[in-house]
């Protein structure tokens, strides 16, 4: 199998090699010039002796060393300024969003947010996501797009803020988003399904954020599940996906309640803990199967990550290793390509 060549990296390396070759050639030419001039001074000043070679050579070596050091320093600074592709993309997104905001192109800004909010989440650029949400919600208000406004409150100004440890702000914005989604929908409305999905997602996010009260979290998740199950058309991929998300959230909250979602194991003989972990595994595997069936690799990876953690927590090391192999292979094919993104797969770390 042929290896895929990264054209961008190849061009950068070729550019650096060419620049370096030119610089080396310049240094050698300059050193040779210094050598000839200094040798001429020796010839004109004193009779030929060992100084005819020692002095010019010493000057040339000194010039080469100083020039090479200076160019190495300058080249190092230039190379440090190279921005990674993922960072370049996010900078371009926010700069374009700010330009659209300044130009008053509200619909274009809302569309930009709709297209790239998930990408920013996957790449782990939560701060930029919130910044884009702050300007996009203004445009959504102007064009009276309540569906987009509710989504921005739940996702960009809600969940993203939670991942940045701004819990109070996150809860306030998500609650507003849930209220807006619920109050804006009617059965005959074009955005009814979209608003229902947003409302259910907001309740799911609130359940995870307030996981310290498992009973209240369970009520929110069941309410979210009822919203989705009440939709007449269950064939929509988004509906199947978000029902699976609720199953995953139930498993995650169980792990969080036992404080094993990051690391650690249950105490030996903790029968209640084992029972809760086994129930969580059932929920997570329901989610995993659904994500796989609809071809959602990103969320399938998320479910596999959690399954590994649950298995490890109860001491099922061999089974955990088997799932880890599947998880790693799937991760390589998913969009979770940065550590900053994968760190949020099983909850805030």
Q: List, for residues 215-231, the tens digit of each pLDDT value.
A: 899 999 999 999 999 99
pLDDT of 245 above 60:
yes
pLDDT of 13 above 90:
no
In a domain, 222, yes or no: no
d(CA 230, CA 234): 9
In a domain, 10, yes or no: no
DSSP 242-257: HHHHHHHHHHHHHHHH
**Same-domain check for residues 269 and 309:** yes
pLDDT of 336 above 60:
no
- Which is more confident, 19 or 145? 145
- Average pLDDT of the chain to the nearest whole number: 82
Helix axis angle, 192-209 relative to 237-257, nearest 10°? Answer: 10
pLDDT score at 214? 86
Percent of the chain surpassing pLDDT 70: 72
In a domain, 298, yes or no: yes
Per-residue model confidence as pLDDT tens digits over 229-239: 999 888 889 99
pLDDT score at 1? 34
Query: Which among 224, 237, 225, 248 is positioned nearest to 299, based on CA atoms?
Result: 248
pLDDT of 10 above 80:
no
pLDDT score at 85? 81
Q: Look up the CATH number of the domain holding residue 144.
A: 1.25.40
pLDDT of 252 above 90:
yes
**Same-domain check for residues 258 and 323:** yes
Per-residue confidence band for 141, with pLDDT thresholds at 50, 70 and 90? very high
- Which is more confident, 336 or 217? 217
pLDDT of 60 above 90:
no
pLDDT score at 56? 57
Per-residue confidence band for 12, with pLDDT thresholds at 50, 70 and 90? low
Ramachandran angles phi, psi of 208, nearest 5°:
-70, -40
Of the residues 175, 198, 221, the one at which a domain ends: 198
Please state the rounded mean pLDDT for residues 327-341. 66
**Same-domain check for residues 312 and 349:** yes
d(CA 196, CA 198): 5
In a domain, 27, yes or no: yes
**Same-domain check for residues 238 and 347:** yes
pLDDT score at 270? 87
**Same-domain check for residues 253 and 311:** yes
**Same-domain check for residues 142 and 184:** yes
Overall domain count for the chain: 3
Per-residue confidence band for 11, with pLDDT thresholds at 50, 70 and 90? low
| Greatest mean pLDDT range, 6-20, 233-247, 323-337 | 233-247
In a domain, 218, yes or no: no
pLDDT score at 2? 35
Per-residue model confidence as pLDDT tens digits over 279-328: 999 999 999 999 999 998 888 988 999 999 999 999 999 999 999 998 88
Per-residue confidence band for 339, with pLDDT thresholds at 50, 70 and 90? very low
**Same-domain check for residues 99 and 162:** yes
Please state the rounded mean pLDDT for residues 131-156. 97
**Same-domain check for residues 249 and 327:** yes
In a domain, 163, yes or no: yes
In a domain, 346, yes or no: yes
Please state the rounded mean pLDDT for residues 36-45. 58
pLDDT score at 175? 98
pLDDT score at 45? 56
pLDDT score at 140? 97
Is 161 in contact with 170 (CB distance < 8 Å)? yes
**Same-domain check for residues 345 and 256:** yes
- pTM of the model as a whole: 0.73
d(CA 100, CA 91): 14
d(CA 171, CA 161): 9
**Same-domain check for residues 89 and 63:** no
**Same-domain check for residues 330 and 239:** yes
List the domain range (segments joined by +) for residue 254: 233-349
pLDDT of 6 above 50:
no
Per-residue confidence band for 5, with pLDDT thresholds at 50, 70 and 90? very low
In a domain, 322, yes or no: yes
Q: Kindly report which listed range (152-156, 194-198, 258-262) carries the lowest average pLDDT score.
A: 258-262
- Which is more confident, 229 or 48? 229
Query: Which among 182, 294, 150, 152 is positioned nearest to 236, based on CA atoms?
Result: 294
**Same-domain check for residues 253 and 341:** yes
pLDDT score at 170? 97
d(CA 171, CA 192): 23
């Amino acid at each position: 199998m042929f290896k895929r060549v990264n054209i961008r990296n190849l061009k950068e390396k070729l550019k650096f090699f060419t620049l370096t070759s030119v610089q080396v050639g310049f240094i050698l030419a300059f050193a040779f010039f210094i050598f000839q001039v200094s040798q001429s001074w020796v010839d004109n000043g004193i009779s030929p002796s060992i100084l005819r070679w020692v002095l010019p050579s010493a000057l040339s070596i000194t010039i080469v060393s100083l020039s090479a050091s200076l160019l190495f320093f300058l080249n190092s600074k230039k190379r440090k300024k190279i921005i990674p592709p993922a960072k370049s993309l996010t900078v371009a997104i926010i700069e374009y969003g700010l330009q659209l905001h300044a130009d008053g192109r509200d619909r274009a800004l809302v569309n930009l947010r709709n297209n790239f909010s998930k990408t920013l989440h996957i790449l782990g650029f939560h701060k930029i996501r919130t910044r884009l949400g702050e300007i996009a919600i203004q445009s959504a208000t102007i064009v009276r797009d309540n569906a987009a406004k509710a989504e921005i409150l739940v996702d960009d100004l809600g969940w993203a803020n939670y991942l940045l440890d701004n819990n109070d702000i996150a809860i306030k914005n998500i609650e507003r988003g849930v209220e807006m989604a619920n109050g804006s929908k009617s059965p005959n409305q074009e955005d009814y399904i979209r608003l229902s999905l947003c409302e259910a997602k907001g309740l799911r996010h609130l359940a995870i954020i307030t996981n310290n009260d498992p009973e209240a979290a369970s009520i929110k998740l069941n309410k979210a599940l009822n919203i989705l199950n009440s939709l007449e058309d269950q064939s929509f991929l988004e509906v199947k996906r978000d029902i699976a998300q609720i199953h995953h959230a139930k498993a995650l909250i169980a792990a969080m309640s036992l404080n094993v979602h990051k690391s650690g194991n249950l105490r030996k003989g903790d029968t209640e803990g084992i029972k809760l972990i086994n129930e969580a595994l059932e929920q997570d595997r329901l989610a995993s199967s659904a994500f796989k069936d609809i071809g959602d690799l990103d969320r399938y990876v998320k479910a596999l990550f959690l399954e590994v953690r649950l298995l490890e927590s109860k001491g099922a090391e061999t089974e955990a290793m088997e799932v880890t192999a599947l998880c790693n292979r799937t991760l390589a094919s998913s969009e979770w390509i940065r550590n900053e993104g994968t760190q949020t797969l099983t909850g805030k770390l």
